[in-house]
Amino acid sequence: MSSIKKIALADYSIFVGSAWEEVKNLLQRPYSKIAVLTDENTHRLCLPLLQQQFDTSTWQILKIPAGEQHKNLSTCSEIWKAMLAGNLNRNALLINLGGGVIGDMGGFCAGTYKRGIDFIQMPTTLLSQVDASIGGKLGIDFEYVKNCVGLFQNPQAVFIFPEFLETLDQREVRSGFAEMIKHSLIADARQWEKLSSLIALDVSQLTSMLPASLQIKKKIVEEDPFEKGIRKALNFGHTIGHAIESWLLPSKTPLLHGEAIAIGMICENYLSHQMLDLPQADMEKITQFILTIYGKTAIPTSSYDQLIQLMRKDKKNEAMEINCTLLHQIGEAAINQDIPEAAIRKSLDYYNSL
Ligand SMILES: NC(=O)c1ccc[n+]([C@@H]2O[C@H](COP(=O)([O-])OP(=O)(O)OC[C@H]3O[C@@H](n4cnc5c(N)ncnc54)[C@H](O)[C@@H]3O)[C@@H](O)[C@H]2O)c1
Ligand SMILES: [Zn+2]
């Protein structure tokens, strides 16, 4: 297996690679008890890898159903009940073994149980490895509002083991890759050159590109931990992408988050050319690369009104114009761009014309 890369943040580190020794060191701390939170898939596919490395006979293993629809208060209640029943006290440690749902909800449960116990993140999807692993955002959905209740709190450490990706569905891998594309486009032209020359999304190539991607998010989050300014750069592709994701959610063919963001990035890349200085050749290269990986999804003109409405609901968009993060050029984001509705519609037309 490849070497281990350590990314040090102010109060914890992220390890990329098979850093079992580092996990062992951390578990040597005088924790009163160790618990692991899994969902039904990571229980079956990822937990055995942990069990090969550690004697888990004294650990408390928690298993919840998989999926975003379970990232809610009633699942938290089950988790807290299990923690109580397992006699976890203030000095216990929770290992969150799973994708972003487990990381966000497990972190939230740990961060609030007994006013906060230690937790470590072991993200097992590419999306959670590259995105949810930095930034300290924890939480759950509430009353149909995504990530409505939560807190900012950092884990003791994050362990990104490439081996977990081996069992992940290729569609999920592709979805997570969209966030890596985004990181490169908003902040690192050299990383974009590397990513855009990839032919296949295989685990070893992706893993070798993860540290640079994480460095980008780290730099942005450290500059702006509470999303007052530059952290908005991470919204590139998300104003339009989120609307498409929400619009397709109740349909028979919903998109995964990254798949919707990929469409959003094509549209917002078009807007970057139309409204800012992104050269046409770069715009076309970005569009072609994203299309090659994600293919096309039809967005009928009849859905535009609804999409625009969804975009207006997105965060602080009460004004007439719609707030997006665009690109000045590859590797440089332009936050807080107010885009007229007509331009948004044209960007959707552009996508449909491809
Ligand atoms: N905290 C943050 O900064 C942040 C950032 C991005 C996303 N998120 C959150 O992350 C969530 C989405 O994360 P996700 O895409 O990882 O979803 P997820 O946790 O639902 O995982 C996706 C699916 O993959 C399965 N799975 C996980 N690991 C696997 C593996 N190694 N092999 C096989 N199957 C596996 C899961 O059981 C699930 O069915 C959302 O709730 C989102 O809000 C948080
Ligand atoms: Zn995203």
- Count CB neighbours of 13 within 10 A: 15
Expressed in percent and rounded to 5, the helix, strand and coil fractions of the chain are 55, 20, 30
Q: At how many degrees (to 10) do helices 280-294 and 257-275 cross?
A: 170
Written as six digits, the tokens of 233 are: 């750069």
* Residue 315 in this model has a pLDDT that exceeds 90: no
Q: What is the pLDDT of residue 227?
A: 82
pLDDT-above-90 percentage for the chain: 91
Residue with tokens 């730099």: 219
**Bridge partners, residue 138, by sequence:** 151
Is 114 a known active-site residue?
no
Say which of 43, 71, 217, 232 is annotated catalytic. 217
Q: What pLDDT is recorded for position 316? A: 52
Q: Are 268 and 236 contacting, i.e. CB atoms less than 8 angstroms apart?
A: yes
Predicted confidence (pLDDT) per residue in 276-292, tens digit: 999 999 999 999 999 99
Contacts 24+ apart (CB under 8 A), 317-324: 317/239, 322/239, 323/239, 324/235, 324/239, 324/240, 324/268, 324/271
Decide: 60 and 36 in contact? Cβ < 8 Å. yes
- Percentage of the chain modeled with pLDDT above 70: 97
Place of tokens 């997570």: 176
| pLDDT over 80 at 318, yes or no | no
Q: Would you call 238 a catalytic residue per the annotation? A: yes
Nearest ligand to the CA of 130 is: 1
How far apart are alpha carbons 226 and 126 in whole angstroms?
24
Ligand 1 center to 60 CA (angstroms): 22
pLDDT at 331 over 80: yes
Q: What is the pLDDT of residues 13-50, one digit of tens each?
A: 999 999 999 999 999 999 999 999 999 999 999 999 99
132 CB within 6 A, ligand 1: yes
Ligand 2 centroid, distance to 61 Cα (angstroms): 29
Position 2 pLDDT exceeds 70: no
Does the active-site annotation cover 43? no
Q: In the numeric block, which tokens belong to residue 94?
A: 């929770």
Cα dist from 125 to 9, 95, 131, whole Å: 21, 15, 10
The token duo for 221 is 């989050």
> Cβ(240)–Cβ(267) under 8 Å?
yes
Whether residue 153 is predicted with pLDDT greater than 90 in this model: the reply is yes
Predicted confidence band of residue 246 (pLDDT cuts 50, 70, 90)? very high
* d(C-alpha 117, C-alpha 155), whole Å: 10
How confident is the model at residue 144, as a pLDDT?
Answer: 79
Q: Does ligand 1 lie within 6 Å of residue 129's CB atom?
A: no
> What is the side-by-side order of every strand in the sheet holding 34-39?
5-8, 13-16, 157-160, 118-123, 93-98, 34-39, 60-64
- Of 41, 174, 179, 218, the active-site residue reads 179
State residue 77's pLDDT score: 98
Report d(CA 34, CA 87) in Å as an integer.
11
- Between CA 223 and CA 227, with CA 226 as vertex, the angle to 5 degrees is 80
pLDDT at 226: 81
Task: Based on the residue annotation, tell me whether 171 is a catalytic residue of this protein.
Answer: no
Interatomic CA distance for residues 348 and 304, integer angstroms: 8
User: Ligand 1 center to residue 140 CA distance, Å?
Assistant: 13
Task: Report helix, strand or coil for 169.
Answer: coil
* 259 Cβ below 6 A of ligand 1: no
Position in ligand 1 atom list of the atom nearest CA 146: 43
- Has residue 1 got a pLDDT over 80? no
Given the residues 96, 154, 235, 269, the one annotated as active site: 235
Q: Of ligand 1's atoms, which has the minimum distance to the CA of residue 135? A: 3
Residue from 257, 273, 323, 332 carrying the catalytic annotation: 257
Asked about 316 being catalytic, the answer comes back as no
- Say if residues 220 and 234 touch (Cβ distance below 8 Å): yes
Of all atoms in ligand 1, which is nearest to the CA of residue 147?
A: 43
Is residue 257 among the annotated active site residues? Answer: yes
Distance CA 91, CA 83 (A): 12
Using pLDDT thresholds of 50, 70 and 90, give the confidence band for residue 319: low
**Cβ of residue 42 lying under 6 Å from some atom of ligand 1:** yes
Strands (E) in the chain, as ranges, are 5-8, 13-16, 34-39, 60-64, 93-98, 118-123, 137-142, 145-152, 157-160, 322-329, 332-339
Give the number of whichever ligand sits closest to the CA of residue 165: 1
Q: What is the mean pLDDT of the chain?
A: 95
**Residue 68 pLDDT more than 60?**
yes
